[in-house]
Chain A
Amino acid sequence: MEKILDFEIKNIKIYEGKKSTWCPGCGDFGVLTALKQALFELGISPFDTVIVSGIGCSSKLPDYINANAFHTIHGRLLAVATGVKLANQKLNVIVTGGDGDGYGIGGNHLIHAARRNINIKYIVMNNEIYALTKGQVSPTSPYGFVRGTTPYGSKDRPIEPCLLSLSAGATFVARGFSGDIKSLKEYIKAALKHKGFSHIDVLSPCVTYNEEYSYDYFRENIELLDGPYSSREEAISSIINTWKKGKIPVGIFYIEESNHYELSLFGSEDYSIVEEFKKQRELKKEEILELIFDKK
């Protein structure tokens, strides 16, 4: 890892993290590359960036990039990231995880992060499988999928994560494919520039446990929509119509400019509780007692 002494970002190598332990060919490499390139092209400093992840193969991503990181617990990454962002709005908070992590155990947090419209970028490496636990079905696996825990075929119907976040209120929703790093990088850049909750679902093949959903399969079946659409309804119906045709919609589906959570809370985009706290001193006794004057 290169030692950074100046803050100028002259070389993409400054984002270089540890050598990865992903299987050769894993789709997550594409996401990692696209993310590094997006950060580099926008000149975002690793020092100002925090990557929060959950648990899963995909969630190991923070180890492989040079930025502040918190590798948390399964499914809770958005909650931890919410605390980070509220504490210090100036940090560029990126959340990365898998489909099991984010749509299964952590599904509730996705809904609420979206409805709060907190200014966090959420990239989900969707391989339609639980990989780290060796290949069980995930909430995005298709009906009838046969795996170790579903020997007679999964009886659960899959969810469409982008429809979920769109209906919950996310103000930036996209789907990329890790076999198309160039487009994915552009989506990530757009998300990084967006002020609000940004959700990017990335089709990211697991070459070890999910042969059905290979690079070739996605290449043949994805359809690029001509978003972003001007309304949530239009985005939702275009996604549904594409699925109906048997195609997987990709592209940026929706972008909406509206106040994000921190702005509503603090009234400013510059405010940081961390910085404010640094300036504070212990309170005087009278100041504390003032709070309970009606108890005297």
Chain B
Amino acid sequence: MKLSDFSVRIAGLAGDGSLLAGEILAFTLKRRGLYVVSVKDFPSNIRGLPTNLTIRANLKRIYSWGDHIDSLVAFEPKAIKIHPRDLKKGGVIIVDEEIDLKDIHLNDIYIYSVPLKKRARELFKREIFKNVIALGFLGYIYSIDPDEFKNTIVFYLKAKDEKIVESNIRALTEGYVLAEKIVKERFQIERGTDSGRYFLSGNEAVALGAIAAGCRFFAAYPITPSTEVFEFLSKHLPKYGGVTVQGEDEIASINMAIGASFAGIRSMTATSGPGMALKVEALSLASMAEVPLVIYHAQRAGPSTGIPTKTSQEDINHILFAGHGDVSRIVLVPSTPEESFEFTFKAFNLAEKYQIPVIVLSEQAISQNQQTIDDIPYDENYTWERGKILTDEMVLSYMTNGKPYERYEITEDGISLRGFPGQKGIIVRYNSNEKTPEGFIDEECEYRNEMVEKRIRKFENIINELPFPELYGREEAKNVLIGIGSSLGPMREAVDRLNEEKLDFSYLRIRSLFPLHEDYIYSLTFNKNVFVCELNSFSQLRNYLSRIWGKKENVFSLRKYIGLPFKPSEIVREIKKIIKGEG
């Protein structure tokens, strides 16, 4: 039987090597020409707690880990208790023989109890190789040519010791040998063509977008799930003449980024919930002093320290409303690695053009999971738009015409010319207090109204530059799902399934939360049933959108807060319940 939609889960304890085995498998499938989505489910702990990785592959582009798995590899007893409920009929479990199967009764499932750890000890004196032995076993069941795996292993580990590569290949072969002896039924996985696709996480895409956008200063404080951005940039920014700094805390980091931007370079900071909470005073400073700044925020489950390694959309309220005073900001919400790249790039242009902070609001499920993407969305249209900046040539006119340079000149579009310290001939004054056009503290509040209105005027045109909501399905569909971020894949699959049952659904994915495309959202949802999907318990997105709708009838809230993205089946099930309840 040929499988065109294939999922595996590898479950063990942290430190068991499940993630590495999973990555090798994912990459092998990706190179087989399949679109792969991987979802890591791991604890905030280095060793000893349950960890698993689900890999789903399909000939078509997919965005979610779906509902079911075809097979489960289990290295520890708990895994065999929790995960089989996700297995499809006719699915496969590969379990270490040292795990007791006494109480496990599963119908229509092939269970293979394999001496994974034992053989690893015998062959290598190290149990860790069990993960690659299991991969070999799996490879046999699914008729994957061992050479395909070998290529990935060589490619993945080539920086490491030759010996390590060799041992891994031996372990893989051992898996095939063990499988040949006991496997009863084999399956086949489809093959497509891989014309140079990439397997990228949201965090990697954000870092790449920042480099492409000319970000040359990055300061942050490590926090899951954003740290990979920091690591990626630390490795690469120096090659472009830039620098990264690990601040003493989040407060220092964002203020450093503000200082660097004031001095004239594109700068960014990255964080997650608790870190963003600390950065808020400086967010307000960036808005008030009109400093271009990009903040990348990958949400995790809260409140407080919450679950550092699990996804959520719990910081919607925080990001929309954080800051004392009327704080200007732009909030972009990507769903995929492509958008993580694109929106980060765009964020730098918007930040400089409008001289305000721009937040790229992602979440753990996007930032730390990898997906196959066709390409990085980058072409000649991706230019550095620096907005109104004072060139050295322009300085001369200020020096000769007798008019002093005004950092906060009152202008029609609300945007003043940005000069930089070190430009000989002008003095640049930034101020967190309300100020005069020259940037002095406005102690008499002479300019207060003009300054507030100047800052508001920036918003007259911004909306036209922001990513428009994505509609999937018919514009006239009677029912609309609305969501952001990681809900993309599950919503899309749910809409397809609901439409197969003639239920007439579409989805609307919001990609810029602030400012919001209010008119469009209003008109699209007018006279329809609306289902807002979100990963929080307070219905933050629904309540925010209700500002547009007022007391709209037939708005339903689908919420999940376990720390994992939606499954398509969950959305379908909930909606059917609601519809039935109505009918």
Given A80-B256, A91-B421 in contact, is the A288-B212 Cβ separation under 8 Å?
yes
Given A70-B430, A73-B281 in contact, is the A83-B261 Cβ separation under 8 Å?
yes
Q: Mark B386-411, 1 if CB is under 8 A from A, else 0.
A: 00000000000001001010000000
Determine whether B422 belongs to the interface, using a CB cutoff of 8 Å to chain A.
yes
Closest to A266 in B: B243
Determine whether A69 belongs to the interface, using a CB cutoff of 8 Å to chain B.
yes
**Cβ–Cβ < 8 Å partners of B211 in chain A:** 283, 288, 291
Q: Mark B280-294, 1 if CB is under 8 A from A, else 0.
A: 011001000100000
Q: Number of A-B pairs whose CB atoms are under 8 Å?
A: 192
Q: Mark A44-72, 1 if CB is under 8 A from B, else 0.
A: 01111110100100001011001111111
* Interchain CB contact under 8 A, A71 and B427: no
Determine whether A81 belongs to the interface, using a CB cutoff of 8 Å to chain B.
yes
Determine whether B259 belongs to the interface, using a CB cutoff of 8 Å to chain A.
yes
Name the one of A18, A47, A296 contacting B422, with C-beta atoms under 8 angstroms. Answer: A47
* Interchain CB contact under 8 A, B252 and A76: yes
Name the one of A7, A84, A91, A285 contacting B376, with C-beta atoms under 8 angstroms. Answer: A285
Name the one of B208, B249, B260 contacting A83, with C-beta atoms under 8 angstroms. Answer: B260
* Interchain CB contact under 8 A, B289 and A91: no
Most central of B200, B267, B376, B430 by chain A CB within 10 Å: B430
* Interchain CB contact under 8 A, B264 and A68: no
Determine whether B216 belongs to the interface, using a CB cutoff of 8 Å to chain A.
yes
Name the one of B196, B285, B383, B425 contacting A282, with C-beta atoms under 8 angstroms. Answer: B383
* Interchain CB contact under 8 A, B255 and A79: yes
Given A72-B255, A91-B422, A273-B242 in contact, is the A83-B199 Cβ separation under 8 Å?
no
Determine whether A109 belongs to the interface, using a CB cutoff of 8 Å to chain B.
yes
Within 8 A of B (CB), among A133-156: none
Determine whether B581 belongs to the interface, using a CB cutoff of 8 Å to chain A.
no
Determine whether B262 belongs to the interface, using a CB cutoff of 8 Å to chain A.
yes
* Interchain CB contact under 8 A, A291 and B208: yes
**Cβ–Cβ < 8 Å partners of B255 in chain A:** 72-73, 76, 79-80, 83
Closest to B443 in A: A21
* Interchain CB contact under 8 A, A84 and B263: yes
* Interchain CB contact under 8 A, A108 and B249: yes
Q: How far is the CA of A80 from the CA of B421 in the complex (A)?
A: 14
Q: How far is the CA of A288 from the CA of B428 in the complex (A)?
A: 34
Closest to B241 in A: A276
Closest to A278 in B: B264
* Interchain CB contact under 8 A, B263 and A72: no
Closest to A284 in B: B378
Given A71-B431, A76-B255 in contact, is the A108-B248 Cβ separation under 8 Å?
yes
Given A79-B252, A84-B421 in contact, is the A277-B208 Cβ separation under 8 Å?
no
Determine whether A3 belongs to the interface, using a CB cutoff of 8 Å to chain B.
yes
**Cβ–Cβ < 8 Å partners of A73 in chain B:** 255, 281-282, 285, 432
Determine whether B424 belongs to the interface, using a CB cutoff of 8 Å to chain A.
yes
Q: Mark B440-476, 1 if CB is under 8 A from A, else 0.
A: 1101000000000000000000000000000000000
* Interchain CB contact under 8 A, B198 and A292: yes
Q: How far is the CA of A276 from the CA of B204 in the complex (A)?
A: 25
Q: How far is the CA of A108 from the CA of B266 in the complex (A)?
A: 26
* Interchain CB contact under 8 A, B383 and A274: no
Closest to B379 in A: A285
Q: How far is the CA of A265 from the CA of B568 in the complex (A)?
A: 49
**Cβ–Cβ < 8 Å partners of A7 in chain B:** 424
Q: How far is the CA of A50 from the CA of B240 in the complex (A)?
A: 25
Q: How far is the CA of A68 from the CA of B427 in the complex (A)?
A: 5
Closest to B248 in A: A112
Contact count band on A: 35 or more
* Interchain CB contact under 8 A, A86 and B260: yes
Determine whether B91 belongs to the interface, using a CB cutoff of 8 Å to chain A.
no
Within 8 A of B (CB), among A3-44: 3-5, 7, 18, 21
Determine whether B245 belongs to the interface, using a CB cutoff of 8 Å to chain A.
yes
**Cβ–Cβ < 8 Å partners of A66 in chain B:** 427
* Interchain CB contact under 8 A, B198 and A296: yes
Name the one of A46, A79, A111, A280 contacting B259, with C-beta atoms under 8 angstroms. Answer: A79
Most central of B245, B402, B404, B423 by chain A CB within 10 Å: B245
**Cβ–Cβ < 8 Å partners of B240 in chain A:** 280
Determine whether A289 belongs to the interface, using a CB cutoff of 8 Å to chain B.
yes
* Interchain CB contact under 8 A, A88 and B264: yes
* Interchain CB contact under 8 A, B262 and A84: yes
* Interchain CB contact under 8 A, B200 and A292: yes
Contact count band on B: 35 or more
Q: How far is the CA of A114 from the CA of B430 in the complex (A)?
A: 25
* Interchain CB contact under 8 A, B267 and A90: no
**Cβ–Cβ < 8 Å partners of B513 in chain A:** none
Q: How far is the CA of A296 from the CA of B245 in the complex (A)?
A: 29
Determine whether B172 belongs to the interface, using a CB cutoff of 8 Å to chain A.
no
Q: Mark B35-61, 1 if CB is under 8 A from A, else 0.
A: 000000000000000000000000000
Closest to B392 in A: A278
Q: How far is the CA of A257 from the CA of B282 in the complex (A)?
A: 34
* Interchain CB contact under 8 A, B247 and A79: yes
Q: How far is the CA of A68 from the CA of B419 in the complex (A)?
A: 10
Determine whether B265 belongs to the interface, using a CB cutoff of 8 Å to chain A.
yes
Name the one of A63, A76, A283 contacting B212, with C-beta atoms under 8 angstroms. Answer: A283
Taking the closest CB of chain A, its distance from the CB of B31, in whole angstroms, is: 9
Determine whether A82 belongs to the interface, using a CB cutoff of 8 Å to chain B.
yes
**Cβ–Cβ < 8 Å partners of A83 in chain B:** 217, 219, 255-263, 267
* Interchain CB contact under 8 A, A292 and B204: yes
Determine whether B197 belongs to the interface, using a CB cutoff of 8 Å to chain A.
yes
Q: How far is the CA of A156 from the CA of B247 in the complex (A)?
A: 28
Determine whether B429 belongs to the interface, using a CB cutoff of 8 Å to chain A.
yes
Closest to B256 in A: A83
Within 8 A of A (CB), among B370-387: 376, 378-379, 382-384
Determine whether B236 belongs to the interface, using a CB cutoff of 8 Å to chain A.
yes
Taking the closest CB of chain A, its distance from the CB of B516, in whole angstroms, is: 29
Q: How far is the CA of A3 from the CA of B425 in the complex (A)?
A: 9
Determine whether A87 belongs to the interface, using a CB cutoff of 8 Å to chain B.
yes
**Cβ–Cβ < 8 Å partners of B199 in chain A:** 295-296
**Cβ–Cβ < 8 Å partners of B208 in chain A:** 288, 291-292
Given A84-B259, A283-B211 in contact, is the A70-B289 Cβ separation under 8 Å?
yes
Within 8 A of B (CB), among A240-296: 265-266, 273-274, 276-277, 280, 282-283, 285, 288-289, 291-292, 294-296
* Interchain CB contact under 8 A, B422 and A280: no
Q: How far is the CA of A279 from the CA of B323 in the complex (A)?
A: 36
Closest to A1 in B: B404
Q: Can you list 6 A-B contacts (CB < 8 A)?
A: A47-B421, A69-B439, A71-B431, A84-B421, A109-B252, A285-B379
Closest 4 pairs between A and B when the two form their complex, measured CB to CB: A83-B259, A79-B255, A87-B263, A68-B421
A→B interface (CB under 8 Å): 3-5, 7, 18, 21, 45-50, 52, 55, 60, 62-63, 66-73, 76, 79-88, 90-91, 108-109, 111-112, 265-266, 273-274, 276-277, 280, 282-283, 285, 288-289, 291-292, 294-296
14 further contact pairs, Cβ within 8 A, besides A67-B427, A80-B258: A7-B424, A69-B439, A70-B289, A71-B432, A79-B251, A82-B256, A83-B259, A86-B256, A112-B252, A273-B241, A277-B264, A280-B214, A282-B382, A288-B208
